[in-house]
């Protein structure tokens, strides 16, 4: 079940002729010189942006295949900095996997990816500042948004002002202008989780939802959307917010959820807001001996949630397409830097409800990026 619209900015139409399309064909179609067509397609100076856009669009419509690998030999290396955290195979590690898969595909296009693992938001700020201080060394950056701290946003502004293409994963920022965003769509995530949960729960009882990071606007929006939907559709269900993972070990989160279950013996369902809370929530339900009466909904497909789905400990997983976000993040930069294709400033990835019955489809990696 997919709930968000995907944008296929790499799509090709069906206007190819029977033979290979040449630069001369494009120039004759548009009544411009072959030199102008070559400059436009190679991303060189000497043509207006309006004409460049027209040439690129016409080339795409005609099915022209530009030799980007050959052209890349004649330009300087495009260096991309990837500034992202790691989380032991939960969420961000899948963003890294997607980004690295894309990096392998563009290896022949003179694109280098420099991995910079950040430990927290302060470390992210330091790395972004280092990149901005380096001036023209970097052509692009792939990063994400923690909590919209002012000093981090200032580095985004510095990068964009310097002409460094910047992709922000899991947030949509109106400022600074010029950022390419792959938003989390957190309100839709909360809505989808609540809608699915409403289909499998009785009319009365308690529902527990973990709150994620208390300093995260995105997590707060997701919780708010989840509660709003249930209040509208199932007003007799009582929703209780329980401790999230921030600065807490799994056993601390598990204990907080266990206490909430003991205080609310009428609990019929639990929703783990983030990947960090999947295991503690399942463990708490087991500790309370409530596996038979409490349905647990998890977040993000990974090795842990795959196992929990197969064993029936999770009823469903709300998947945020982490792999696709990483894959798409680098491709946006390559399309703009190398192929002179202007992507939209916002690109949505799908939200999927993964069940035991459709799990095998999502386990096949080729289906993760089939949207392109």
Q: What is the CATH number of the domain that holds 24?
A: 1.10.260.40
Mean pLDDT, the chain, integer: 88
The predicted structure's pLDDT at residue 10: 38
| Domain span at 162 | 78-184+322-349
The predicted structure's pLDDT at residue 277: 95
Residue 14 pLDDT > 60: no
Answer yes or no: is 253 within a domain: yes
For 334-368, what is each residue's pLDDT tens digit? Answer: 988 887 778 889 999 899 999 999 999 887 654 44
Q: What is the CATH number of the domain that holds 287?
A: 3.40.50.2300
The predicted structure's pLDDT at residue 227: 97
The predicted structure's pLDDT at residue 7: 39
**Same domain, residue pair 190 and 303:** yes
> pLDDT exceeding 90 applies to what percent of the chain?
63
Confidence of residue 66 (pLDDT cuts 50, 70, 90): low
Strands 205-210 and 78-84: unpaired
Task: Summarize the confidence of residues 166-183 as an average pLDDT.
Answer: 92
Residue 71 pLDDT > 60: no
Task: Summarize the confidence of residues 14-26 as an average pLDDT.
Answer: 69
The predicted structure's pLDDT at residue 322: 94
Answer yes or no: is 358 within a domain: no
The predicted structure's pLDDT at residue 101: 93
Among the listed residues 299, 313, 317, 304, the one whose alpha carbon sits nearest the alpha carbon of residue 354: 317
**Same domain, residue pair 252 and 151:** no
**Same domain, residue pair 211 and 315:** yes
**Same domain, residue pair 6 and 93:** no
**What total number of domains does the chain contain?**
3
For 311-321, what is each residue's pLDDT tens digit? Answer: 999 999 999 99
Confidence of residue 69 (pLDDT cuts 50, 70, 90): low
The predicted structure's pLDDT at residue 67: 61
The predicted structure's pLDDT at residue 342: 82
For 77-127, what is each residue's pLDDT tens digit? Answer: 889 999 999 988 899 999 999 999 999 988 877 889 999 999 889 999 999
The predicted structure's pLDDT at residue 137: 92
The predicted structure's pLDDT at residue 243: 87
**Same domain, residue pair 158 and 142:** yes
**Same domain, residue pair 251 and 287:** yes
Residue 238 pLDDT > 70: yes
- Domain endpoint, select from 51, 74, 97: 74
**Same domain, residue pair 204 and 307:** yes
Answer yes or no: is 299 within a domain: yes
- pTM as predicted: 0.81
């Amino acid at each position: 079940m997919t709930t968000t619209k995907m944008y296929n900015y790499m799509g090709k139409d069906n206007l190819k002729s029977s033979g290979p399309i040449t630069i001369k064909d494009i120039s004759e179609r548009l009544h411009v010189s072959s030199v102008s067509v070559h400059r436009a397609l190679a991303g060189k100076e000497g043509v207006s942006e309006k004409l460049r856009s027209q040439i690129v669009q016409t080339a795409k419509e005609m099915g022209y295949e530009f030799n980007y690998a050959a052209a890349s030999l004649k330009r300087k290396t495009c260096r991309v900095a990837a500034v992202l955290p790691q989380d032991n195979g939960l969420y961000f590690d899948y963003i890294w996997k997607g980004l690295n898969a894309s990096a392998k595909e563009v290896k022949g296009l003179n694109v280098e990816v420099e991995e910079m693992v950040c430990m927290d938001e302060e470390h992210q700020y330091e790395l972004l500042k280092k990149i901005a201080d380096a001036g023209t060394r970097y052509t692009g950056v792939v990063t994400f948004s923690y909590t919209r701290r002012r000093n981090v946003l200032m580095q985004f502004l510095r990068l964009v002002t310097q002409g460094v293409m910047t992709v922000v994963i899991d947030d949509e920022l109106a400022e600074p202008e010029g950022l390419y965003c792959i938003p989390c769509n957190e309100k839709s995530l909360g809505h989808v989780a609540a809608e699915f949960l409403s289909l499998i729960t009785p009319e009365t009882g308690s529902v527990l939802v973990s709150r994620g990071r208390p300093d995260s606007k995105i997590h707060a929006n997701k919780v708010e959307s989840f509660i709003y939907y249930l209040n509208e559709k199932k007003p007799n269900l009582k929703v209780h917010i329980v401790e999230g993972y921030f600065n807490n070990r799994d056993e601390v989160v598990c204990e907080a959820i266990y206490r909430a279950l003991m205080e609310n013996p009428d609990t019929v369902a639990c929703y783990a807001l983030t990947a960090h809370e999947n295991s503690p929530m399942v463990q708490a339900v087991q500790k309370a001996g409530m596996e038979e009466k409490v349905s647990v909904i998890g977040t993000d497909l990974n090795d842990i949630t795959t196992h929990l789905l197969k064993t029936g400990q999770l009823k469903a997983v709300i998947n945020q397409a982490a792999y696709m976000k990483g894959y798409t993040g680098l491709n946006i930069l390559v399309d703009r830097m190398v192929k002179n294709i202007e992507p939209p400033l916002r690109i949505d990835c799908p939200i999927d409800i993964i069940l035991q019955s459709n799990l095998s489809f999502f386990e096949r990696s080729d289906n993760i990026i089939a949207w392109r």
